[in-house]
Structure 1
Amino acid sequence: MVQAYVLMTCETGSIQGIVDEMENFDEVVEVTAVTGDYDVISKLEVDEVDELLKIVAGKIHGLPGVGDTTTCIST
């Protein structure tokens, strides 16, 4: 099992929609809006690192309003 935190910057007005959409992703354990340098932080659990790439590059970056992401793999 691979756990990772994905920190996201988002367009103004899109944050709650991104949180709501990500709550439906099977891989997302937790997602919340935050203040500071990032707008949304999520915790993901997947079987392999390759799956993480597909989720971040495909599903998360595919959401309207998502800007930059930083992925931190937990050990």
Structure 2
Amino acid sequence: MVEAYILLTSAIGKVREVYDKIEKLEDVENVRIVTGPFDLIVLAEAEDLSTLTNTVVEGIRETDGVLDTNTAIVVE
């Protein structure tokens, strides 16, 4: 298993909408709306790196309202 924390920036006024869409993605384990330089933090867990990459690139980044992502893969 591969885990990653994805830090998201969303469009103004779209945080709740982005949250609702992202929490439904298959490999997403947890989503939190936060304060600070990012709007949401997502914990994703996938079978392998390729699947995780697809979740981030084709799932999260393609979600309407997502402006930017920063992915931190868990190594230990």
Using the size of structure 2 for normalisation, the TM-score is 0.93
Give the unaligned 5+ runs of structure 1. Answer: none
Q: Where do residues 9-20 of structure 1 align in structure 2 (5 Å cutoff)?
A: 9-20=9-20
1 CA distance for matches of 2:11 and 2:22? 16
* Percentage of pairs with the same residue: 35
Spell out structure 1 runs of 4+ moving beyond 4 A. none
| Cα distance per residue 1:44-69 (max 9 Å; x no partner) | 00011111111111111111110110
Instruction: Indicate the RMSD between aligned Cα atoms, in angstroms.
Output: 0.8
CA–CA separation in structure 2 for the residues paired with 1:20 and 1:62 = 14
TM-score of the superposition, structure 1-length normalised? 0.94
- Unpaired runs of 5+ residues, structure 2, are none
